[in-house]
Amino acid sequence: METFLIVTQIILAILIILIVLINVTKGSEYGAVFRGAEAIFGGAGPTNFLNKVTMILVLLFFLNSILLTKVFTEKHKPLMLKTGIPQSPVSNETFPPTPPSIPIPPKEPLKFPESTK
């Protein structure tokens, strides 16, 4: 099942790339190539048809991605539960450790020498 979904994902990705590359928009320089398509797709040309196909392929790609994620997670869940989150050994130290000697300022107010005027 997982292999089928992966192959489907690759095929959908390739089809989306191809549809986007041949999509003809207004002002496109490649529009002259697809002028004969007006007879097949109607007066609007292939743009409406290609836009619909693009939306359908993107939707299928999205749904396949979700399904592939669900299948992969369910298949590998026991492995994820066994390994768990690696825990570091717990020590009694506080983090961050305090330096052993911190100079403490004196509690007396500072005396400045009087300046002579």
Q: Are 15 and 59 in contact (CB under 8 A)?
A: no
Amino acid at 18: L
What pLDDT shows up at residue 58?
95
Judge whether residue 17 has pLDDT over 70. yes
pTM for this one?
A: 0.52
What pLDDT shows up at residue 43?
57
**How many residues make up the chain in this entry?**
117
What pLDDT shows up at residue 98?
61
Cα distances (Å, whole numbers) of residue 48 to 14, 23, 26, 104: 20, 10, 12, 78
CB count, 10 Å around CB of 12?
19
- How far is 90 from 23, CA to CA, in rounded Å? 60
Judge whether residue 66 has pLDDT over 80. yes
pLDDT digits (tens, 9 = 90+) for 80-116: 566 655 566 555 555 666 666 777 777 777 677 776 6
